[in-house]
Structure 1
Amino acid sequence: MFLRIKRSPALIDNQTVIHPTDRLNKPLLFSTALALAVWLIWYAYSSPDSLSIIEENWTVTLTMVFGSFIAGATSEGGGAVAFPVFTKVLHIAPLDAKVFSLAIQSVGMTAASLTIIALRVPVAWPVIAWASLGGLVGVSISSTALAPLLPPALLKMLFTAMIAAFALPLTILTWQKRLYNDTLPFFGAREKAIWLLTGTVGGGMTGLVGSGIDIICFSVMVLWFRLSEKVSTPTSVILMAVNALAGFALHGFLLDSFNATVERYWLAAVPVVVIGAPLGAYCCTKLNSRAIAVILILLILVELLSSLILIPLTANIIGISLTVFVIFLWFYYRMARSTRYRPACERGEE
């Protein structure tokens, strides 16, 4: 159960729909026009093989129908769906799966971000600015220096361990009475450093598996800064869009990893993600914070179970993954216990 505090601009009523129906016409028209424009560009680029590309790669298209919606509606980017399905189910090379994740999110998450802006959904712009700067550093270092050194199975389990550690405190908080900030309580040099570092870590994870800055920054926003999931989720979507664009440009122009096979996967998914991701972003505005948290917890549970079932687990992978799980769980616990950024009324202030 969530507490509702009246007459407090620092708090958010989680049962209130932010945008009434009569204010949605222009944003929805914008999203429709955006989708049509992308379709026209896609068709002009892929013609005369447009339909054959989808027929040959229909499993990719189907995967991203669901992946793009999840990406727009939650803090788990489309890469968090694409990478495990590609590597575990479709047996696509991990590097190709990662590059595809970055490429397709550069379209879907950008479309979702533009929809969020058009809908005037509240987001934490200072977080986006400083975490994005760190994300550029992180994705560059991990893509060029770290990714070639680590085995794919270990990379995937590290990501799973990280988000599984976040699910535990999020589950506890979801069923407790708690208050939210709808904006950052204050933002000085300390906070800039925090988000620069958080973005670097998140960008590093994105460079390894094609997703990560969104869920890592989301966890810090919710657990430490006490931002509502309704603010943290669209903020994380925009962060992932910026990081995906940077990662895609890095692999496409500098590392030359965007090969013909990945390009065909990408072309097979573009028509659906430009609809699915904005639709997910819109549906997120209709959910309260508890619903958003519950959906995210269930997705993390699916991610954990699928990893345990499908990834070959060696003693080395298990040991490192458990270590990462414990380390992140400790950090998440410390963030959840911190009182620095709790709402003013919860701290006993006016």
Structure 2
Amino acid sequence: MTILQPPKPKLWIWFLTLAGFYLVWSWLVFHDGQWNEVVTHWPMAAAMAIGSYAAGSTPMGGGTVGFPILVLLFGESAELGRDFSFAVQSIGMSSAAIFILSRRQPLAGAMLKGALLGITIGLPLGIFLVAPWVPGLHIKIVFAVVWGSFGLLHLWRIGEIASHEGMTDFDEHWDHKAGFFVGLLAGAAVVSVSGVGVDMVLYTVLVLLCRADLKIAIPTSVVIMAYGSVLGIFTKLAFTGVQPGVYGNWLAAAPVVALGAPLGVFVVDLIGRKPTLIVVAVLCVGQLVWTLVQESQSLGVLGLTGSIIAVVVFLLGFEKLRAWGAVLGGDDVLAQTTQSSLTGTNLAAIQEDSSSK
């Protein structure tokens, strides 16, 4: 698998784009008399100080914090939370991505290129054909279940995930194809509905199937979500419009996340990724519990049961990816311990296919 790691950092590119952003933001706020909007929405700016750090240091975008704060804490609609996720990440995640690229951090090149192509097709299709048919309650549940499952995965497997070094070397064509389907499906089914998610899905494939080092998997996930956020917000602005209230919250939070996300990229190299991932995983599980309790009457027994079953299905899927990754990576001990999770899968065929490559 190609690892893009050019030799010399060029941080002046990031500083230049950051200066350009603050000039535009200042013009929008002071020339157009929007300072009152910034002051009115200061709680979101404060919340996104934490969210942007998580966006740069973990595979979970700033919308992972912004969505539940707007929807669960502030009582806003799920549609507003989704559109705000697109808007705020288009600044924070983009700033972090430019910072990553300027520092010449290693990326999973072939899989990232495939995912970029996939989400370019999948996200607009999802915005036009999927998202309009998903009710606000279901948006909340999709977000809660996906990120709750992701949090549980890390609380259970963080030691193993954090121990990976390098990546399992597959054929680049296979990597590109896998990335394409991740971008296409996640863009259409998850990102279009919740405003976040392709970063988490690509990261999961990288760490469980490809057994990638966190220093490769997390920057790759940041770059794909940055692109997805920019694509999402421009698609909505051009064709569907965004929810009222997005602009005011964006004005308040944007100058914070433009620095906070790159700060997360930098600081996590000093303190390590494992502690931050554990904290964010706890938050992901917490918002799942909070959502299910808050929406228990609307969901009813059937809805609550279905949500819990969905979490279990996600966790079983994660375990299956992990077992495949062990087989393809040649870890016989791990493969034997996880064989029971691959019911109906021909492990010998997979191993033979891996050897042939």
TM-score class normalised by the smaller sequence: 0.7 to 0.9
Output the CA distance in 2 between the equivalents of 1:41 and 1:92: 28
1:234 pairs with 2:219: yes
- Matched to 1:308, the amino acid is L
Output the CA distance in 2 between the equivalents of 1:343 and 1:30: 41
Deviation at 1:345, TM superposition (A): 10
* Aligned counterpart in structure 1 of residue 132 of structure 2, from 136, 141, 148: 148
Q: Any unmatched runs of 5+ in structure 1?
A: 1-9, 11-17
Greater share of residues in helix: 2
* Aligned counterpart in structure 1 of residue 318 of structure 2, from 311, 329, 332: 332
* Aligned counterpart in structure 2 of residue 97 of structure 1, from 70, 73, 81: 81
Deviation at 1:290, TM superposition (A): 3.3
- Report Cα offsets for 1:210-254 as digits up to 9, x if no partner: 111111111111111100122111111001001001101110101
Output the CA distance in 2 between the equivalents of 1:35 and 1:286: 23
Q: Which residue pairs with 1:282 in the alignment?
A: 266
CA contact (8 A) 1:102 1:248 kept: yes
Output the CA distance in 2 between the equivalents of 1:114 and 1:83: 23
- Report Cα offsets for 1:226-283 as digits up to 9, x if no partner: 0012211111100100100110111010112265x32222112111111111111112
Q: Any unmatched runs of 5+ in structure 2?
A: 336-354
CA contact (8 A) 2:78 2:139 kept: no
Over the residues paired in the alignment, what is the CA RMSD in angstroms? Answer: 3.0
Output the CA distance in 2 between the equivalents of 1:177 and 1:240: 21
Q: Which residue pairs with 1:251 in the alignment?
A: 236
- Matched to 1:245, the amino acid is V
Residue range with higher mean Cα deviation, 87-96 or 312-321: 312-321
1:219 pairs with 2:199: no
Deviation at 1:178, TM superposition (A): 8.0
Output the CA distance in 2 between the equivalents of 1:242 and 1:51: 29
User: Where do 4+ consecutive residues of structure 1 move more than 6 Å?
Assistant: 343-347
Residue range with higher mean Cα deviation, 128-137 or 32-41: 32-41
Output the CA distance in 1 between the equivalents of 2:156 and 2:69: 29
Deviation at 1:31, TM superposition (A): 4.4
SS where residue 130 of structure 2 aligns? helix
Output the CA distance in 2 between the equivalents of 1:121 and 1:291: 21
- Report Cα offsets for 1:197-220 as digits up to 9, x if no partner: 212232131110111111111111
Deviation at 1:344, TM superposition (A): 8.2
Q: Which residue pairs with 1:38 in the alignment?
A: 21
- C-alpha change, 1:86 and 1:169, in structure 2 (3 Å) is closer
- Matched to 1:314, the amino acid is G
Q: Which has the higher contact order (CA 8 A, sep 6+)?
A: 1
SS where residue 200 of structure 2 aligns? helix
CA contact (8 A) 1:79 1:101 kept: yes
Residue range with higher mean Cα deviation, 231-240 or 250-259: 250-259
Output the CA distance in 2 between the equivalents of 1:199 and 1:186: 19
Residue range with higher mean Cα deviation, 192-201 or 293-302: 293-302
CA contact (8 A) 1:111 1:278 kept: yes
Q: Which residue pairs with 1:201 in the alignment?
A: 185
Deviation at 1:289, TM superposition (A): 4.9
Deviation at 1:128, TM superposition (A): 1.5
- Matched to 2:145, the amino acid is A
Deviation at 1:176, TM superposition (A): 4.7
1:160 pairs with 2:147: no
Q: What is the TM-score normalised by the length of structure 2?
A: 0.82
- Matched to 2:134, the amino acid is L
* Aligned counterpart in structure 1 of residue 305 of structure 2, from 319, 325, 335: 319
Deviation at 1:340, TM superposition (A): 4.3
Output the CA distance in 2 between the equivalents of 1:151 and 1:341: 40
Identity of aligned residues (%): 24
State the number of aligned residues.
328
- C-alpha change, 1:255 and 1:171, in structure 2 (3 Å) is same
Output the CA distance in 1 between the equivalents of 2:46 and 2:89: 15
Q: What is the TM-score normalised by the length of structure 1?
A: 0.83
CA contact (8 A) 1:146 1:208 kept: yes
